[in-house]
Structure 1
Amino acid sequence: MLIILMLSTVYNGRYWVFFTDKGNQKGNISAQIERVAGLYPSVTVERRMKAMGKPADRGDLPVYPPYIDSLKKLGFKPRYVSRWLNGVSGLLPEDMVNRIKKLPFVREVKRVATIGGCFPYIPKPLSYGKQETNIKLMSIDKLHNLGYSGKGVRIGVFDTGFEYGEGAHEALDMIDVIAKADFVFPDTIVQDGDTIIVPDTIVSYEQGEDYREGTYPNCYAPFCCQTDHGTMVLSILAGYAAGSFIGVAFGADYILAKTEQVYDREGHHVELKVEEDNWIRAMEWAESLGVDVVSSSVGYRDFQDTTGYSYADMDGRTALITIAAESAYARGVIVVNAMGNVAGGAPETSIVAPADGEHVLSIGGVEMEIDSITGDTEWVWCSEAAAGPVIRIDTFSINPLEIDTVYIIKPDLAAPFYAQVVNPEWRTEFLNLPGGDTLSIPHYISGGGTSFSTPYVAGIAALLLEAFPSLKGNPDTIRLALTSTASRHSSPNYYVGYGVPDALSALNFLGEPEVVYKEKNYILPVYPNPVRINENSVITIPFVLDNNDYVQLKVYDSGGKLVYYKDVGFTLAGRNYIKWVLGDLRPGVYTIIINTGFTRLRSRIFVLK
């Protein structure tokens, strides 16, 4: 009897493989770097020129393909390739690890671990007053009053996913999202016999991949859905509903990346998971699109395989995600990351990467303390927020045996630990359910964590960049303005760093703003723009009024002919929007004019076939 034994390769984990070089490129290296620089948009090049003095460097050159091919011959299955780290992550047979380590072009092999998150949701009674207190604590309202809302600034948000746009929450229906990618549930394509991972663009709920537990209207508990955490974080930055909720940078352009998994594909509720290479890939992608500020409410520390990073590894040099964050900083990106929350009652053991990065703005948490006798209030460190410092061991070049222990203040800044956020499980469809008008499903809920502290500071950074656009690509100056004017700028500590930022003081620290709004009424970017004409084409015209006013909308073609008129009528102060159905409009350039009792606001839209 002939017995055929069929064996299959066993892949026990994902690994990063780092290379010694990029193939010792031959020819004119400068010409190769110049070609790579030509692939980036102008906004990316401009920021890099300010930060690096050049549009690209060797770190932007592609990883040497023959090295990856050699790995594949040994059974390696590539997943993500990182130019900055000069490495590739993917599946690797356990019995091939040592063999690959011995290859002459391999510098190091590290396991990619699944990591437990540390950003719990803590329910509290709904109170819009608490959100107003947070905004005013940091003088964010003062910058809003000057007309700043983040216009022209690109903010990247890395999290679990996001629900926004028409039909989602009322405060998230007008966000200007210019790019989005899903690094958790990407698509796979077969190319030249290899399975290639390609991020798709579904960052909201995705049938069959994300899992939404339960059915409406019962599902509005914390982390009921894959996208809940990211949606709540996004609302602090970008949310806007007149009279109910105002985010920090509601006028910014957003680049959204889904990098964390909450549920498995069968719908089982699992520990919040993060994969380091998802974040690294997202950072390189967002940076290539010209991101100015990255708000990251995720952290890496405790791996599922119990290896993880130790407190000693939180030195700003060891964790791969920290190295990637520092690479983004070197290219002019302001990276703002949560410090993490306390695990096991020991704040010093709870700091997470990349918050340990020297140039990463790591954010801790404060809460309001009320004196039981006097009733006076004071913002103090929240004991549930992780503390520093970062401890780094340096070796003197003169005597290699002599070491120097450096203590780096972390967090850099602190912001409110507790915040009002949108209820991510609320949808406009509730209003159409039987009895929907009486359902006790709140529009807004409260939560806690340094996850929520982080977007406040990222938003302030965006407001400052709007006022001083020449500082794009200069994260050090923004950092200096924030830390030099924060509440503990003269006596920083390892619990709140330099303290709570003051947006108005930071603005004044930078001098006379380059952008000054004479009028407090203005039009935000019209979207989509350009727009392709069809019978269902609709554009949204968002605008902000300083006071209640009467509004008219007029649209003119390139020849000055009035093609559309709408008497909008009495409109409340704050952010508003007008929907315009294009109908049978001809392709061309059109001028949009919004008339109020005091001002005339202008914008343009490009209509394509």
Structure 2
Amino acid sequence: MRYFVILAFCCIQCFVFAQKPGRYRITFADKENSKYSELRPEEFLSPKALERRAKYNIAITQQDIPVNQWYIDSVLQYNARLCNSSKWFNSAIFECDSATNFSAIQSLACVQSIEWVAPKHKAQPDATQLQQEPKHVVPYSEFYSATHDSLYGNSIRQIKLMNGVPLHKAGFMGQGMTIAVLDAGFLHVDSASAFSQAWEEQRILAYRDFSGANISVWNEGYHGMAVLSLIASYLPKTMIGTAPQARYVLCRTEEGATEYRVEEDNWTAAAEFADSIGVDVISTSLGYSEFDDSTQNYTYSHMDGKTTRITIASNIAASKGMLLFNSAGNSGDKPWKYITAPADSDSIITVGACFLNGTITSFSSRGPSKGTSLKPDVVALGFYPAILKSNGLVQVSGMGTSFSNPILAGMATCLWQEFPHLPPHTIKQAILSSAHRYFVPDTVYGYGIPDFERARFILRMGMLQQTFDKAEVYPNPFRQILQVRIYASQSSKVSIRMYDMQGKEMLYKTFQMNTLLQTIEIPEAASLSAGMYTVFVQFDNEQQIMKVLKK
């Protein structure tokens, strides 16, 4: 009787499969008899990918071995079509129809499981006509020496909020770094003037549709175009992206017309591709919780940093030495309210959205995740940034964490460019430590808005290992404004007192220290008479005394 039940169940499965054309995830049993070996990684990983692994002491394992091609071919012979594959999960997505012999596929010894994940792909072409922004010929060097912000046009809004201009002026605009953008297509990116500089300099290294639909990534997907514009645009005096000199890999993983779990497989395949060719940073402005097939829906309990397929894939991608950024989501004012996968990953920098004045938007998804880290991690401008519209023109418009995320990802890429010897987790920690609410984080802002000049200082000074309070005054001697730079190991109330040589108190200031590093200007010091003064900086548990000369 037991055997009859099992046989009946298998027959029912085959019947259901045969009646339901679409895309199926087939997981394979092993990676035996592969033509690849961990001892010959150069056969499946690029020199840049191998360099990254060597730099951060990351081992090559069975997980890196591609899916056995013989297993894939075994399935293809039964009228299935390959869409993509995943070496990390040892699986592949196949499109099947009524001619597919599921019974034969199920009987293959190499097949572990078969799962329907989506119907056939549905295209969503965009007929928006392209217009061209005029392009001013301005060499990059002018940004390094500019004494004003006019070269940025309206994009100065999003960059200045994070104090990113000094990083660009120092010559760090993404050169030599590679960013993969995983999105829903890249409408007009092949021809819009905002990206012409990248094409001319051959910095768009690769583009691919990972849905398996084999359609042009340039014919649909305004969302991806907008996201990329925030990183890669080079339209001096109109719009400058946050990493305009980086190299880019464009991966279409999202399917705009529908929402099914197969998009997690698409994303995984793209992330594996990015890893294999040596990408440094992955920027994703996507999130998954609810699907067109409600049986695929996730609940909030699934947002634990380790359950959904795309979150597991994100964790693996980060373990390969890449730095990942993901939008928090736009559900803050909706019933769901919280972040979605893969933003729940502890390995990802999850980015919320704020207004230009620094306050949080109502739509920015809230944390916490059920994982071990606070979510979101940080926030950036997500309400009316300067952005490229579907017609190719720049406007200050749009809203969403989809836009705050690439703004931050591009800026972080420039930071890592300055400190290429540091591992990704150190760059991540510097970004979090630089944020304006570092000592008072919450599930709305995370650690707040990063300050990239502060992050640079933190990395230069090795402050991430600091466990003490410290202050310094500068310039010394001074003539006009005196500045006090405060380093703190925790949130504390700090007071500054200044005395003349007779012991008379000349000024007093007090403030709450919410960041790891803060600079306090004392303009009142300009009115002091010339001479020597003593500055007392009082922390919660200790005091520092310094001499300063006024000329």
TM range (shorter): 0.5 to 0.7
Aligned pairs, number? 411
Pick from 470, 473, 491 the counterpart of residue 421 of structure 2.
470
Q: Compared with structure 1, are the counterparts of its residues 344 and 457 closer, same or farther at alpha carbon in structure 2 (3 Å cutoff)?
A: closer
C-alpha offsets along residues 223-281 of structure 1, whole Å, 9 cap, x if unaligned?
A: xxx23211111111111222121211011111111223335xxxxxx789982222111
C-alpha offsets along residues 273-330 of structure 1, whole Å, 9 cap, x if unaligned?
A: 9822221111111211111001111122211111222211111222111121111111
Q: CA deviation at 1:454?
A: 0.5
Q: Which residue of 2 aligns with 1:381?
A: 360
Could you tell me how far apart the structure 1 residues matched to 2:370 and 2:189 are?
43
* Amino acid paired to 2:415: L
- Larger helix fraction of residues: 2
C-alpha offsets along residues 29-48 of structure 1, whole Å, 9 cap, x if unaligned?
A: 9x821223344222111112
Q: Which residue of 2 aligns with 1:482?
A: 431
C-alpha offsets along residues 502-558 of structure 1, whole Å, 9 cap, x if unaligned?
A: 111111111179xxxxxxxxxxxxxxxxxxxxxxxxxxxxxxxxxxxxxxxxxxxxx
Q: Which residue of 2 aligns with 1:334?
A: 323
Matched, 1:82 2:86: yes
Could you tell me how far apart the structure 1 residues matched to 2:190 and 2:65 are?
40
Q: Which residue of 1 aligns with 2:506?
A: none
Could you tell me how far apart the structure 2 residues matched to 1:109 and 1:79 are?
15
Q: Which residue of 1 aligns with 2:225?
A: 231
* Identical counterparts, % of pairs: 35
Contact between 2:23 and 2:94, CA under 8 Å: does it hold in 1?
Answer: yes
SS in 1 for 2:256: strand
Q: Which residue of 2 aligns with 1:43?
A: 48
Aligned-CA RMSD value: 3.4
Q: CA deviation at 1:79?
A: 2.7
Could you tell me how far apart the structure 2 residues matched to 1:99 and 1:234 are?
44
SS in 2 for 1:478: helix
Contact between 2:183 and 2:286, CA under 8 Å: does it hold in 1?
Answer: yes
Matched, 1:153 2:177: yes
Map residues 151-550 of structure 1 onto 2, 5 A cutoff.
Answer: 151-163=175-187, 167-169=191-193, 171-175=194-198, 176-184=203-211, 186-187=213-214, 202-205=216-219, 226-262=220-256, 275-306=263-294, 307-342=296-331, 345-346=334-335, 348=337, 350-368=338-356, 378-392=357-371, 408-426=373-391, 443-471=394-422, 474-511=423-460
* Amino acid paired to 1:381: I
Unaligned runs of 5+ in 2: 1-16, 123-151, 463-551
Q: Which residue of 1 aligns with 2:126?
A: none
More deviation, 450-459/76-85: 76-85
Map residues 127-138 of structure 1 onto 2, 5 A cutoff.
Answer: 131-138=155-162
Could you tell me how far apart the structure 2 residues matched to 1:323 and 1:17 are?
18
Q: CA deviation at 1:161?
A: 2.4
Q: Compared with structure 1, are the counterparts of its residues 103 and 317 closer, same or farther at alpha carbon in structure 2 (3 Å cutoff)?
A: farther
Could you tell me how far apart the structure 1 residues matched to 2:107 and 2:309 are?
21
Q: Which residue of 2 aligns with 1:14?
A: 23
C-alpha offsets along residues 356-397 of structure 1, whole Å, 9 cap, x if unaligned?
A: 1110111111124xxxxxxxxx412211011111115xxxxx
* Amino acid paired to 1:142: P
Contact between 2:210 and 2:253, CA under 8 Å: does it hold in 1?
Answer: yes
Q: Compared with structure 1, are the counterparts of its residues 147 and 109 closer, same or farther at alpha carbon in structure 2 (3 Å cutoff)?
A: same
TM-score of the aligned structures, taking structure 2 as reference length: 0.67
C-alpha offsets along residues 387-430 of structure 1, whole Å, 9 cap, x if unaligned?
A: 111115xxxxxxxxxxxxxx531111111111434443435xxx
Could you tell me how far apart the structure 1 residues matched to 2:381 and 2:46 are?
36
* Amino acid paired to 1:135: I
* Amino acid paired to 2:93: S
Contact between 1:156 and 1:255, CA under 8 Å: does it hold in 2?
Answer: yes
Contact between 2:155 and 2:238, CA under 8 Å: does it hold in 1?
Answer: no
* Amino acid paired to 1:416: L
TM-score of the aligned structures, taking structure 1 as reference length: 0.61
Could you tell me how far apart the structure 2 residues matched to 1:134 and 1:390 are?
27
Contact between 2:157 and 2:386, CA under 8 Å: does it hold in 1?
Answer: no
* Amino acid paired to 2:217: V
Could you tell me how far apart the structure 2 residues matched to 1:69 and 1:244 are?
51
C-alpha offsets along residues 120-175 of structure 1, whole Å, 9 cap, x if unaligned?
A: xxxxxxxx986323211101111111111011100111122225678523x33212
Could you tell me how far apart the structure 1 residues matched to 2:431 and 2:44 are?
33
Structure 1 residue runs of 4 or more that deviate by more than 6 Å after TM superposition: 93-104, 270-274
Q: Compared with structure 1, are the counterparts of its residues 390 and 508 closer, same or farther at alpha carbon in structure 2 (3 Å cutoff)?
A: same
SS in 2 for 1:510: helix
Pick from 27, 34, 37 the counterpart of residue 32 of structure 1.
37
SS in 2 for 1:262: coil
Q: Compared with structure 1, are the counterparts of its residues 362 and 166 closer, same or farther at alpha carbon in structure 2 (3 Å cutoff)?
A: closer
Q: CA deviation at 1:13?
A: 3.4
Q: Compared with structure 1, are the counterparts of its residues 73 and 42 closer, same or farther at alpha carbon in structure 2 (3 Å cutoff)?
A: closer
Could you tell me how far apart the structure 2 residues matched to 1:165 and 1:385 are?
27
Could you tell me how far apart the structure 1 residues matched to 2:63 and 2:158 are?
40
Q: Compared with structure 1, are the counterparts of its residues 491 and 333 closer, same or farther at alpha carbon in structure 2 (3 Å cutoff)?
A: same
C-alpha offsets along residues 414-459 of structure 1, whole Å, 9 cap, x if unaligned?
A: 11111434443435xxxxxxxxxxxxxx642411000001012211
Could you tell me how far apart the structure 2 residues matched to 1:185 and 1:228 are?
19
- CA radius of gyration, larger in: 2
Contact between 1:15 and 1:112, CA under 8 Å: does it hold in 2?
Answer: yes
Could you tell me how far apart the structure 2 residues matched to 1:235 and 1:87 are?
33
Pick from 53, 57, 61 the counterpart of residue 57 of structure 1.
61
- Larger strand fraction of residues: 1
Could you tell me how far apart the structure 2 residues matched to 1:492 and 1:109 are?
44
* Amino acid paired to 1:497: G
SS in 2 for 1:279: helix
Q: CA deviation at 1:104?
A: 7.0
Q: Compared with structure 1, are the counterparts of its residues 111 and 424 closer, same or farther at alpha carbon in structure 2 (3 Å cutoff)?
A: same
Q: Compared with structure 1, are the counterparts of its residues 166 and 230 closer, same or farther at alpha carbon in structure 2 (3 Å cutoff)?
A: closer
C-alpha offsets along residues 84-105 of structure 1, whole Å, 9 cap, x if unaligned?
A: 1111222457999899789876
Contact between 2:187 and 2:221, CA under 8 Å: does it hold in 1?
Answer: yes
Could you tell me how far apart the structure 2 residues matched to 1:388 and 1:61 are?
35
Could you tell me how far apart the structure 1 residues matched to 2:268 and 2:210 are?
10
Contact between 1:52 and 1:332, CA under 8 Å: does it hold in 2?
Answer: no
Contact between 2:58 and 2:320, CA under 8 Å: does it hold in 1?
Answer: no
C-alpha offsets along residues 555-609 of structure 1, whole Å, 9 cap, x if unaligned?
A: xxxxxxxxxxxxxxxxxxxxxxxxxxxxxxxxxxxxxxxxxxxxxxxxxxxxxxx
Q: Compared with structure 1, are the counterparts of its residues 92 and 178 closer, same or farther at alpha carbon in structure 2 (3 Å cutoff)?
A: closer
Could you tell me how far apart the structure 2 residues matched to 1:274 and 1:42 are?
30
Could you tell me how far apart the structure 1 residues matched to 2:102 and 2:290 are?
23
Could you tell me how far apart the structure 1 residues matched to 2:327 and 2:114 are?
28
* Amino acid paired to 2:453: L
